[in-house]
C-alpha cells in the first residue's frame, strides 16, 4: 500500500509559481523550492522529477490563472472598447509605491530571462503571447465595427503596437518606473487608435 501524500500538490505548484515569479528560474535553487514548499529534496524530486519540470508546471499554472484573467478583463462586455482597453492596460501595471519594483508578468519575465534557449518554455511563451494578440485583435475589430475607433485602422499593425507597448509596460513596472509616466504611455497608445464616439481618457483604472 502506497504512503499517502502529506501535502497538497496543487498548493505546492501555487507556491512554486510565486517563488519563480519573484526570483526567476536561474536564481531559484532546489533548496529554495524545498524551503518554500516545505519539502525535502527527495520528496520534491519524487513528486516533480526536477526543477525544470516544476517550472513548466508553474508557468502552465500562471497561464491558466493570471493570464486567463487578463484576457477576460480585455473583453469589452458592452463597454466602449477604448475604455476597456485603457482599464485593462492600467490593471496590468499594478505598481507598488513609486520607485519600488513590481513583480511584472511571469511570462514576460521568463521571456527576458530565458528567451529562446529552452524550447519547452518558448512554446508556452509564444502561446501566451498569441492569446494576448488574439484578444487585442478581437477587441479592436469590435471597436472598428461599432465605429468607436478609426474605420481605416490597420488591425494587425495596431495589435503589434499595443502588444509591444504592453510588454514594455510590464518590464518598466518591474523596474519600478513611475506610474504616472506609464499611464501617459497608455493614454498615448489608446489615442493612436484614432478618434470615434466613446469616453474620454480621464476615468481611473485599477491601481
CATH code at position 51? 1.10.10.60
Neighbouring C-alpha atoms within 13 Å toward the C-beta of 203: 16
| Rounded distance between C-alpha atoms, residue 151 and residue 68, angstroms | 29
The pLDDT tens digits of the residues spanning 121-133 come to 999 999 999 999 9
Residue 1 has pLDDT above 50, yes or no: no
Q: Which of 1-10, 29-38, 55-64 comes out lowest in average pLDDT?
A: 1-10
Quick one: 119 and 155 in the same domain?
A: yes
Quick one: 96 and 48 in the same domain?
A: no
Quick one: 160 and 84 in the same domain?
A: yes
Number of domains the chain is built from? 2
| Rounded distance between C-alpha atoms, residue 165 and residue 151, angstroms | 22
Quick one: 43 and 142 in the same domain?
A: no
| Rounded distance between C-alpha atoms, residue 114 and residue 59, angstroms | 13
- pTM of the shown model: 0.84
Torsion of CA 27, 34, 56, 104, to 10 degrees: -50
Quick one: 97 and 42 in the same domain?
A: no
Quick one: 48 and 98 in the same domain?
A: no
Asked if residue 21 is part of any domain, the answer here is yes
Quick one: 43 and 127 in the same domain?
A: no
Q: Which residue has the higher pLDDT, 206 or 162?
A: 162
In this structure, how many other beta carbons lie within 10 angstroms of the beta carbon of residue 179? 19
Q: What is the DSSP secondary-structure string of 83-149?
A: HHHHHHHHHH----STTS-----HHHHHHHHHTTS-HHHHHHHHHHHHHHHHHHHHHHHHHHHHTSS
CATH number at residue 110: 1.10.357.10
Q: Can you give the residue range of the structural domain that contains 157?
A: 74-191
Quick one: 87 and 182 in the same domain?
A: yes
| pLDDT number for residue 73 | 87
Quick one: 32 and 126 in the same domain?
A: no
Quick one: 98 and 181 in the same domain?
A: yes
User: Quick one: angle between helices 9-23 and 51-62, nearest 10?
Assistant: 90
The pLDDT tens digits of the residues spanning 77-97 come to 888 999 999 999 999 887 555
Amino acid at each position: 500500500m502506497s504512503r499517502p501524500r502529506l501535502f497538497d500538490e496543487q498548493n505546492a505548484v501555487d507556491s512554486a509559481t510565486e517563488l519563480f515569479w519573484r526570483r526567476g528560474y536561474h536564481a531559484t535553487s532546489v533548496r529554495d523550492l524545498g524551503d518554500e514548499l516545505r519539502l525535502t529534496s527527495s520528496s520534491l524530486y519524487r513528486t516533480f522529477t526536477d526543477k525544470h519540470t516544476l517550472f513548466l508546471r508553474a508557468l502552465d499554472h500562471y497561464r491558466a490563472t493570471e493570464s486567463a484573467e487578463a484576457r477576460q478583463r480585455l473583453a469589452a462586455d458592452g463597454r466602449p472598447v477604448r475604455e476597456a482597453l485603457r482599464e485593462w492596460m492600467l490593471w496590468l501595471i499594478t505598481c507598488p509605491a513609486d520607485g519600488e519594483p513590481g513583480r511584472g508578468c511571469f511570462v514576460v519575465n521568463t521571456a527576458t530571462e530565458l528567451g529562446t534557449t529552452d524550447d519547452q518554455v518558448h512554446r508556452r511563451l509564444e502561446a501566451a503571447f498569441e492569446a494576448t494578440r488574439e484578444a487585442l485583435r478581437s477587441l479592436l475589430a469590435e471597436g472598428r465595427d461599432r465605429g468607436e475607433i478609426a474605420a481605416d485602422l490597420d488591425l494587425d499593425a495596431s495589435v503589434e503596437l499595443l502588444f509591444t507597448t504592453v510588454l514594455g509596460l510590464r518590464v518598466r513596472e518591474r523596474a519600478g518606473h513611475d506610474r504616472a509616466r506609464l499611464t501617459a504611455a497608455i493614454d498615448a497608445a489608446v489615442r493612436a487608435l484614432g478618434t470615434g464616439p466613446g469616453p474620454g481618457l480621464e476615468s481611473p483604472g485599477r491601481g
